[in-house]
Structure 1
Amino acid sequence: MARMFRVLGVLTLAIGLMAFAGGLIEMALLFFFQTAFFILLGYLNLSERSYILTFWGYMIVAFLGFTYYSVFVMEMPY
């Protein structure tokens, strides 16, 4: 299970690098922070239950953040 978080770290690093190359600095920084979080979590050697609960917590925070941003922050095109 720990390897999966390292794989997520590599994938978020790739997305962050592509965002940085495209000039999306805020998005790139967000994905670089996620990369550091996933890589650090991958080397903690927690139990499988801890990894699953951490991932669920991450997904809830990510979905709530995305929903808040898309509803209250983004301007709606008319």
Structure 2
Amino acid sequence: MARMFRVLGFWTLVIGLMAFAGDLFEMALLFFFQTAVFFLLGYLNLTERTYMLTFWAYMVLSFLGFTYWTIFEMGIPV
């Protein structure tokens, strides 16, 4: 399970580099931060249950953040 967090770190690094190349600096910084967190979690050698709970907490936070951003920050076209 720890290896999966390192894989997630690799893909968030790739996405962050592409965002940086496309002049999307805020998005790049967000993905670089996620990369650091995923790599850190990947090397902590936690239990599988802890990794699963951490991943679910990450998914809930990311979906809530995405929903908030799309509804309140982007606005709904009328």
TM-score (norm 2): 0.96
Stretches of 4+ moved more than 2 A in 1?
A: 75-78
**What corresponds to 2:59 in structure 1?**
59
Using the aligned pairs only, state the percent identity: 73
**Unmatched segments (≥5 aa) in structure 2:** none
Q: Deviations over 1:33-71 (max 9, x none)?
A: 000000000000000000000000000000000000000
**What corresponds to 1:9 in structure 2?**
9
**Unmatched segments (≥5 aa) in structure 1:** none
**What corresponds to 2:73 in structure 1?**
73
SS in 1 for 2:23: coil
Count of aligned positions: 78
Distance in 1 (alpha carbons) for counterparts of 2:53 and 2:75:
34
Query: 1:77: how far off?
Result: 4.1
Distance in 1 (alpha carbons) for counterparts of 2:50 and 2:75:
38
Distance in 2 (alpha carbons) for counterparts of 1:38 and 1:7:
8
Distance in 1 (alpha carbons) for counterparts of 2:34 and 2:27:
11
Query: 1:11: how far off?
Result: 0.2
TM-score (norm 1): 0.96
Query: 1:76: how far off?
Result: 3.5
RMSD: 0.9
**What corresponds to 1:43 in structure 2?**
43
